[in-house]
Homo-oligomer: A and B are copies of this chain.
Amino acid sequence: MKRPSIRSVSGGVTAPRGFRAAGLHAGIKKKRKPDMALIVSDTPCAAAGALTTNQVVAAPVTISRTTLQKGRAWGILGNSGSANCCTGPAGHRAALAVRQAAARQLGIPAGQLLIASTGAIGKPLPVPRMKRAIPTLIRRLSRTGSAAAARGILTTDLITKSAAVRFKTGGRTITIGGIAKGSGMIDPAMATMLCFITTDAPVGATDLKRAVREQVQKTFNQITVDGQMSTNDTVFLLANGAAGGPQLAPGRPGWQPFCEGLRQAMERLARLIAEDGEGATALVTIEVAGTSSNRAAQQIAKQVANAPLVKTMVAGRDPNWGRVAATVGASPVRFNPRRLEIRLGGIPVYRNGGPVRVSKGTLKRRFSGKTPSIQIRVGSGSGRGRALTCDLTHGYIRINAKYN
């Protein structure tokens, strides 16, 4: 059977049929930058998602978890400028009040509007300002509003993050689109602060949930900026079925390309997040092989990706592979150190317990540019893992020493 070709398209979350979006400055941020975003479907959607596993979670995470359990939503209301976390019962009430106001004016049940917040922790939501902005936000909803919505959820991000893919299956054209924000506080078990994905594919909530989990594991969970898991990490996926036809489901035609399309869209957003890590000048790929399980390889890859000494070495494009050896050795994953092999940009630098003779000039050339890579082998097992990260630079310090 011929595999349908999946192609990139523009349009982000409004590329799929039946979705409108908008973003604006409501006054949550002091600076005059967009700080609210709204995405709404013309019809109710199957909804699925993945939320932070942090024990300290923001009010919108708690509230949206309930909506995701029911698997049905019309849209997503997001904001930047406040994480609405550690804000107590007042913060919970504030989130409900804003959601209630938006849902009423949209004419949808409040329980079917997903919400997500990002920004400083402990800062209350300015409810009156947000309520005042809602009518304008709704009026501006449009089929070309994805970029405005993407801007509305940025914090220290330098670029908006958007992706969309399209493919044909069974006579239908199916589109998947997404926007995201990332930057700092990116890591374990969820690699973006916020990611909103829409699709016009007809998919049931249970299958949608399965697809999200699988593809998040392959994409967002492999990136890391600073090993920090946020209180607000959120991925939402809405499927409104506007493409028509019978439901996509595991084992049926169209399911494989749907999962692959979802993976491609998430992968693109994940790479944009890692590339735009706070202060980043490089997108680093760390590939690990030879473990007994993929999980073990993944664990080593993440450990290397989060090691400050490795991340600063990449910042200086300094092929100081000893730091990679030391970091791999510090991993709880057991291996025979004599079997350890390290390559930088594909060039062997360490094997059989000793350094490989290689011209420093050649090495420096290969371990340079915007996408340096590190390859690690720890044995002959079939386990493989990968992590994407950025370098650790003066920019990260500058941004994070004075955030508030």
Q: Which residues of A contact B (CB under 8 A)?
A: 54-57, 83, 85-91, 120-122, 184-185, 188, 226-231, 307-309, 312-313, 315-316, 318, 320-323, 325-331, 334-335, 337, 340, 349-350, 352-355, 392-394, 396-398, 400-404
- Copies of this chain, complex-wide, total 2
Q: Are A340 and B56 in contact (CB under 8 A)?
A: yes
Q: Are B318 and A402 in contact (CB under 8 A)?
A: yes
Task: Find chain B residues with CB under 8 A from A308 CB.
Answer: 226-228, 308, 392, 396, 400
What CA separation (Å) do A397 and B56 show in the bound complex?
30
Q: Are B185 and A57 in contact (CB under 8 A)?
A: no
A289 to chain B, nearest CB (A): 17
Q: Are B335 and A400 in contact (CB under 8 A)?
A: no
Choose one: B90, B318, B331, B394; the contact of A397 (CB below 8 Å).
B394
Task: Find chain B residues with CB under 8 A from A54 CB.
Answer: 326, 329-330
Q: Are B121 and A337 in contact (CB under 8 A)?
A: no
A341 to chain B, nearest CB (A): 11
Q: Are A330 and B400 in contact (CB under 8 A)?
A: no
Beyond A121-B323, A318-B403, 19 extra complex contacts between A and B, CB < 8 Å: A54-B330, A55-B328, A55-B330, A55-B335, A56-B340, A86-B353, A86-B354, A86-B355, A88-B352, A88-B353, A121-B320, A121-B322, A122-B321, A122-B355, A309-B400, A312-B396, A316-B403, A318-B402, A393-B397
Q: Which 6 A-B residue pairs are closest in the complex by CB-CB distance?
A: A121-B322, A88-B354, A56-B329, A316-B401, A312-B400, A229-B330
What CA separation (Å) do A397 and B281 show in the bound complex?
13
A197 to chain B, nearest CB (A): 24
A268 to chain B, nearest CB (A): 26
Task: Find chain B residues with CB under 8 A from A337 CB.
Answer: 55-57
Q: Are B87 and A309 in contact (CB under 8 A)?
A: no
Q: Are B91 and A330 in contact (CB under 8 A)?
A: no
A366 to chain B, nearest CB (A): 16
The answer to whether residues A397 and B330 also contact, given A86-B354, A87-B354, A307-B228 and a CB cut-off of 8 A, is no
What CA separation (Å) do A363 and B307 show in the bound complex?
31
A123 to chain B, nearest CB (A): 8
A397 to chain B, nearest CB (A): 5
Give A335's nearest chain B residue, CB to CB. Answer: B55
Q: Are A334 and B120 in contact (CB under 8 A)?
A: no
Give A316's nearest chain B residue, CB to CB. Answer: B401
A76 to chain B, nearest CB (A): 22
Give A232's nearest chain B residue, CB to CB. Answer: B326
A310 to chain B, nearest CB (A): 9
Q: Are B86 and A315 in contact (CB under 8 A)?
A: no
Task: Find chain B residues with CB under 8 A from A352 CB.
Answer: 88
Q: Are B325 and A56 in contact (CB under 8 A)?
A: yes
What CA separation (Å) do A228 and B227 show in the bound complex?
14
The answer to whether residues A397 and B404 also contact, given A354-B90, A355-B87 and a CB cut-off of 8 A, is no
A-B contact pairs, 23 of them (CB 8 A): A54-B326, A54-B330, A55-B329, A86-B353, A86-B354, A87-B354, A89-B353, A121-B320, A184-B309, A188-B330, A227-B307, A230-B326, A231-B322, A231-B325, A309-B400, A312-B397, A315-B397, A315-B400, A316-B401, A320-B403, A394-B397, A394-B398, A396-B397
